[in-house]
Structure 1
Amino acid sequence: MFRGIDEVDWASMEHAYGSAADVPELLRGLASPLPQERETALDGMYGAVHHQGDVYDSTLAAIPFLFTLAGHPGLPDRGGIVELLASIGAPEDADGLAHGAGDTTDGEDGENHEGDEDDEDRDGLGDDNRAMARAAVRAGAGLFLELVTDADPEVRRAAPSALVRFHGEPPRVLALLSDRLRDEPEDGVRLALVEGLGLLARLYGGSAAPAVERLVSLCGPEHDPGLRLAALGQLASCAADRLPADLVPTVVGLLHTRSQRIRPAGEPVRTSSDTLIGSLRGMRPADEEGARLLRTLHQALGARTEDRIALLKGQLSSRNTADRCNAVWMSAGLFREWRGAYEEPVALIGEQLGSDEERLRSAAVSVLEFLFTLATPAADRLAVLVEAGPESGGPGTATLDRPLKALARCGDARAVPALAEVLRGPAVPNDTGYVVGHLGPAAAPLASLLRRRLAEVPLDSPDTYHHAAPLLSALGTLRYPAAVPEVLRLLHGAPRELRLRDALVKALARTLGAFGPGARAAVPTLRELLTGENAVAAADALWAVEGDVEAVLPVLLGALAPERDAGRRRAAAEAVGRIGAAAAPALPALRHLAGSPEVWERTTAACALWDVAGDPDPVLPVFREAWRRNVYTRGTVTACLVRMGGAGAPVHDLLRAELASPRRHRARSGGHGSHDVLEDELLLRSCRTALETD
């Protein structure tokens, strides 16, 4: 299997973590007799050699050995190797999915995702390697013809997709898939064959019309419900005009019939290696096949939110726990990507919180957590769980109890007593402070407890910043100046060599600024900081506390200078904007920044230009371009348009188009952030507010 592997100069090649000298060990691990070693090796291939879909020189060198392994009869887990080969050979955007992208998460307080300067301009690095990888996998695609009839059902399940993608003879592939559908005994493999037909139809369009006809034939009542569901899902993605008019009732009926026929199975034996692949396997739904069927259909229906909501309601009404669990997970993709009236499905998801099935309860809480105010229809059920006690671990655990987090995030005051108990506990989870901020004025009773916990934060711990920042965020949101002594304790006492000290000082200054004039006791300290690394943050806070333009404006003007780093210039522009007309001496620097090649710097400077000068002419062209180039600027732009009122009318067409769009502005294939739904709902609210001036 590994002839010639030692003749390859792996050490001269690279993967995601540097030298590729360890690739031969990973390849040999794929052939290990031990399941855990095989899983660890596959995890290593994805984690280093094919990291996040990238293709390196070592990836190309590994392809021949992967083909040898995939074609070795009797070798276990070859299905995973076939999938790896297909992933390596796929283009970066394969069949509408961002290749190799994973889930992205934001911090509890959100982030701007400013890394993509231009959503339309993508980095071309690695394009040559991807092209060579695709050619190499195409060259070996004859093996996939053989693997469609392999003795191992997992190999047969992985083969159809790879065969369709890389074999250059669609008629031959279509004939083989159709033949195998007649002879294949395994239900899971039959579904993979149907998926192959759908992929063939999507990739080859009109020339693959026979594939569409085959899918239509599989929708007939003589076929198994699972096969019919699979065919409907594929038709929805490649020939929606051939779907039945009563699609949703048909699907719900097939789903219920299928659920009655399958018997609940025990959990499959899974390897327990500490790998990403092992973790993903542990998260699989109880009915993987059902989840796959419904996921395909939901994704194919896309923006048909009314149909998808009706389908979810049908799934959530099933007597089968696995069906309801799958529905909850399916709802996550719908909520994250598309806008709609979700009160009914959210309420039904809330009903699942009363289930005796832990997997179902956990799925429901996971979805409700990222919905924020959209979870309100489930708030009563969440409140019942919160009142019953911690989900697991309770106060003192690393993270906040999840039902409590979901309840607080939707702004429900019933979360306050439980949060008070957490704040009185032996240790406060770091996300507690950020969660408090979503409660608004209802969280006022927690202010004194937050102040007390801030007083207990150690001054010289490696985790000082991580413990303090959430508490500071909450206290700033509540505008609680009684905590000024505790803030000053950290400002004065944190050692200069403290890890993340600059981030801590910025957070402390931001909190003092939020306190406003009530933080006058901090003025001497803030003035001392005006000459240091955190001068901009100190100046911003000092203006909010004291309003002394003469003291802060020279600092901010200095930070706006071209030789300063971009982050400092942006922070200074934001601070100047908050000062308003009194910061008129900064206008030349702001006009210069508004012509910056960096979209976020232009956008920030344009906002400040309006706030200082009140002139829309230099501002609106910047907003229009930023709106187009980077969706993450839209919240900032719209917030400024709210302040502009009628002066922003020339770009209100952008806001109307946004409100008319069915897709969330941050939706992207292959990943999501924990605050994407929240930020989208806030954007929609700001768009409506700005348009009220029309």
Structure 2
Amino acid sequence: MTSPAELDRVQWHALTHAYGSAEDVPELIKALYESDGKTADEAIYELYGNIHHQGTVYSASAPAVPFLAHAVRHAPNKRAELLMLLAVLSDHDPADVDLPHWASSSVAAVCVELCRVLPELLFCLKDTERGVRRAALRVVAAVAELLPAEQRVSAMAQLDAVYATDPVPSVRADAMVVLARFGRETAALDSPLPEVRLAAAMLAVARSGPPYPADLMDVIAEDGAEPDPGDDDFPWSGTTTQDERLRRLLTEDPDASLTVAARWITAGDVGSRGSWLVEEIAETWRDREPAVLDLLVAALPHQRGARALASRLRTIGHWVELLPEPDAGLRDTLHQYAGADEETAGPALLALVHSRDFRALELVLRRPSARLLAAAAQHFPEAADQLIPVIRRELAAGATGNEGIALVGALAPFGTAARQALPELVACLQTRRAAIVAARQLGANGIATRETTDLLSEATQSTDLALRAAAAVAHYQLSGDVDPALRTFEGLLSRTGQTHWYLSALEPLRSAAAPLLPFIEPLLGAGYEWTRVAAAEALYWITGSPDRAVPVLVELVGPTPVGLRALKALAATGQVPEELLPTLRSFAFSPLRLIHDSSLSGQDHLDEELRTLARTLLAAD
């Protein structure tokens, strides 16, 4: 340990942290000793942000360790927080220790310093505060495999004492986890303490790998139904809490996880624990939607508060779209919640719409919102006569922003019937409300009037470049005059920046856009993936030849949003090279979701699109 009196012996100005020079670190360390708790808290917060920043440590991090260790002893009111800072600073993957770069890394320097001062920190294992004891255990765990033999013996003796005698079960469980880091196995599955049994089962599950033994799942289902109330404050390595680690382990075995989640939900879904596990299974594994939805419906009565209930209903609404025929019981439950006069009725009604239950249509018409109308238009396009008047009314009332965009977008599924909304679309373009999507819809409507074409021509001069592109294409679609569109796109494609947005608008022009090829062809080699895929698409639309587009698209195909876009474009060319077939098989038959999907992703089941398209292409081969 090193006292603040020795801070000036370190050349802090020559060291760096996340924000540059580390010359501010001494004042932050001195602030840890202030009697004013707020000042010390602010100093700890700043240290978390500079000598440790988003998992990275710096040249100033290791020199700070001895001073932080001194503060642990002499600033007892902040002991737990400082110990956790030391643990986080030294966090590393044990496998990295054998890599060539380890010895010269900043984290290795931190670990060396922590190993040196650790004997002087072990007194914290006997602190009267359980939080301090738990934090001290994290510090020991962080460098367990790096301690010299003599220190290992001393540390393990003290860990054994904590495991055997600590009055708090969660602390004993932590001690057992740290002992395992030292290679010490404990026969704890028969412990009378559920916290210890749960930790022991987790260690055994991690060793066994999936499929997990049923007896271990029984322990986890029985003893893991309620969260550890202090878990979030004391993460392990990787800043991962024990709860997060448990979810990750369980997610590797979906069948076992769903069984555990069912028992947790039956036990009351405390803290939405079972629901969160179920949702993670759905986000990770394909074809689990029926079981997931059954469990989420079972969890609805156990949700505590409107926020938790709304979250479960949103998740149901997301995944129910993937069921070919949602069963009547599920739809009846959603209808019941959707009909309630509560703040959760909105998510329930959206889920009911996604389930394609026609009872949803009446409720949407009674309580319309932009999002509900857009979803209803997608799932009930045959209800144009009922939905279009309401969409028009909402647009005429002055909808702006995302609401206006959603309302205009809701017209697309109705085809020529959407022409009824021509006055509202013109008004949107005039007032610049949802103007970009309004311009696109006007072009798709195919009704040319002098007013409309004049407005679109005017919009091609807008300071909003995306509006320029949309208006130029729509003007061409309605007038057949390609010159204004060519002038507009010459200007747009001559700019640096997000040119892929403009390239993606060119499809309706087809061969009429041939004069733009000198601007497009160089973009086939652009550094940005989205630009390359958009350039390849545009090249194929304009020339009708796949020769130059296909190699670019094949290179970009992958389990990512841009990779899916490339695969769609490749499918449109009708050419799928043989060397791509193994990749398509992996897309088609992987049990795991290859593109992340969740109710919070804001995306429409891209992984399902990837699988379906891959299977279609394989069948056509």
Output the TM-score relative to the length of structure 2.
0.78
Which of 537, 556, 566 is matched with 2:489 structurally? 556
Q: How does 1:97-108 map to 2 (within 5 A)?
A: none
**One-letter code aligned to 2:312:** A
**Aligned in 2, Cα 1:452/1:362: closer, same or farther, shift over 3 Å?**
closer
**One-letter code aligned to 2:165:** D
Secondary structure (helix, strand or coil) at the match of 1:663 reads coil
Q: Confirm or deny that 1:540 pairs with 2:492.
A: no
**One-letter code aligned to 2:580:** V
Paired residue for 1:349?
Answer: 296
Which of 147, 168, 188 is matched with 2:124 structurally? 147
Deviation digits for residues 478-505 of structure 1 (CA, Å, limit 9, x no counterpart)? 55333333333343335xxxxxx9xx54
Q: Distance in 2 between matches of 1:19 and 1:447?
A: 61
Which of 607, 616, 621 is matched with 1:689 structurally? 616
**One-letter code aligned to 1:448:** P
- Alpha-carbon offset, residue 156 of structure 1: 1.9
Deviation digits for residues 451-509 of structure 1 (CA, Å, limit 9, x no counterpart)? 22222338xxxxx5355333333344555333333333343335xxxxxx9xx543443
- Alpha-carbon offset, residue 636 of structure 1: 0.5
**8 Å Cα contact 1:218/1:227 also seen in 2:** yes
Q: Confirm or deny that 1:327 pairs with 2:274.
A: yes
Q: Confirm or deny that 1:382 pairs with 2:384.
A: no
**Aligned in 2, Cα 1:574/1:89: closer, same or farther, shift over 3 Å?**
same
- Alpha-carbon offset, residue 134 of structure 1: 5.6
Secondary structure (helix, strand or coil) at the match of 2:580 reads helix
Paired residue for 2:237?
Answer: none
Q: How does 1:634-645 map to 2 (within 5 A)?
A: 634-645=563-574
Secondary structure (helix, strand or coil) at the match of 2:620 reads coil
Q: Confirm or deny that 1:566 pairs with 2:511.
A: no
Q: Distance in 2 between matches of 1:2 and 1:418?
A: 68
**One-letter code aligned to 1:236:** V
Paired residue for 2:135?
Answer: 158
Secondary structure (helix, strand or coil) at the match of 2:127 reads coil
Question: Once structures 1 and 2 are overlaid, which stretch shifts more, 534-543 or 595-604?
Answer: 534-543
**8 Å Cα contact 2:269/2:275 also seen in 1:** no
Q: Confirm or deny that 1:473 pairs with 2:422.
A: no
**One-letter code aligned to 2:286:** R
**One-letter code aligned to 1:307:** A
Secondary structure (helix, strand or coil) at the match of 1:566 reads coil
Q: Distance in 1 between matches of 2:9 and 2:390?
A: 66
- Alpha-carbon offset, residue 682 of structure 1: 2.5
**8 Å Cα contact 1:570/1:605 also seen in 2:** yes
Q: Distance in 2 between matches of 1:354 and 1:44?
A: 43
**Aligned in 2, Cα 1:599/1:523: closer, same or farther, shift over 3 Å?**
same
**One-letter code aligned to 2:208:** A
Q: Distance in 2 between matches of 1:440 and 1:32?
A: 65
- Alpha-carbon offset, residue 35 of structure 1: 7.8
**Aligned in 2, Cα 1:687/1:411: closer, same or farther, shift over 3 Å?**
farther
**8 Å Cα contact 2:83/2:136 also seen in 1:** yes
**Aligned in 2, Cα 1:348/1:466: closer, same or farther, shift over 3 Å?**
closer
Q: Distance in 2 between matches of 1:95 and 1:254?
A: 26
Secondary structure (helix, strand or coil) at the match of 2:506 reads helix
Q: Distance in 2 between matches of 1:476 and 1:19?
A: 55
Question: Once structures 1 and 2 are overlaid, which stretch shifts more, 129-138 or 515-524?
Answer: 129-138
Paired residue for 2:429?
Answer: 491
Which of 561, 585, 588 is matched with 1:659 structurally? 588
Output the TM-score relative to the length of structure 1.
0.71
Greater CA radius of gyration, 1 or 2? 2
**8 Å Cα contact 1:303/1:338 also seen in 2:** no
Which of 520, 539, 550 is matched with 1:609 structurally? 539
- Alpha-carbon offset, residue 343 of structure 1: 0.9
**8 Å Cα contact 1:234/1:296 also seen in 2:** no
Deviation digits for residues 406-444 of structure 1 (CA, Å, limit 9, x no counterpart)? 444555554444433443xxxx6x755665565452674
Secondary structure (helix, strand or coil) at the match of 1:390 reads coil
Which of 221, 245, 263 is matched with 1:255 structurally? 221
**Aligned in 2, Cα 1:21/1:485: closer, same or farther, shift over 3 Å?**
farther
**8 Å Cα contact 1:457/1:467 also seen in 2:** no
Paired residue for 1:675?
Answer: 602
Which of 231, 243, 253 is matched with 1:304 structurally? 253
Paired residue for 2:83?
Answer: 82
- Alpha-carbon offset, residue 196 of structure 1: 3.0
Q: Confirm or deny that 1:187 pairs with 2:169.
A: yes
- Alpha-carbon offset, residue 21 of structure 1: 9.7
Q: Confirm or deny that 1:169 pairs with 2:128.
A: no
State the superposition RMSD in angstroms. Answer: 4.6
Paired residue for 1:100?
Answer: none
Secondary structure (helix, strand or coil) at the match of 1:218 reads coil
Q: Distance in 1 between matches of 2:254 and 2:404?
A: 42
Q: Distance in 1 between matches of 2:377 and 2:7?
A: 57
Q: Distance in 1 between matches of 2:382 and 2:13?
A: 60
Secondary structure (helix, strand or coil) at the match of 2:126 reads coil
- Alpha-carbon offset, residue 683 of structure 1: 2.2
Paired residue for 2:391?
Answer: 450
**8 Å Cα contact 1:450/1:471 also seen in 2:** yes
- Alpha-carbon offset, residue 386 of structure 1: 0.8
Which of 269, 276, 283 is matched with 1:336 structurally? 283
**8 Å Cα contact 1:298/1:330 also seen in 2:** yes
Q: Distance in 2 between matches of 1:677 and 1:71?
A: 54
Q: Distance in 1 between matches of 2:13 and 2:351?
A: 49
Secondary structure (helix, strand or coil) at the match of 1:575 reads coil
Q: How does 1:408-419 map to 2 (within 5 A)?
A: 408-409=353-354, 412-419=357-364
Which of 398, 404, 416 is matched with 2:349 structurally? 404
The higher relative CO (CA closer than 8 Å, separation ≥ 6) is in 1
- Alpha-carbon offset, residue 674 of structure 1: 1.9
**8 Å Cα contact 2:57/2:106 also seen in 1:** yes
Which of 445, 449, 453 is matched with 1:516 structurally? 445
**Aligned in 2, Cα 1:309/1:148: closer, same or farther, shift over 3 Å?**
same
What is the percent sequence identity of the aligned residues? 25
Which of 191, 201, 204 is matched with 1:232 structurally? 201
- Alpha-carbon offset, residue 680 of structure 1: 1.9
Secondary structure (helix, strand or coil) at the match of 2:446 reads helix
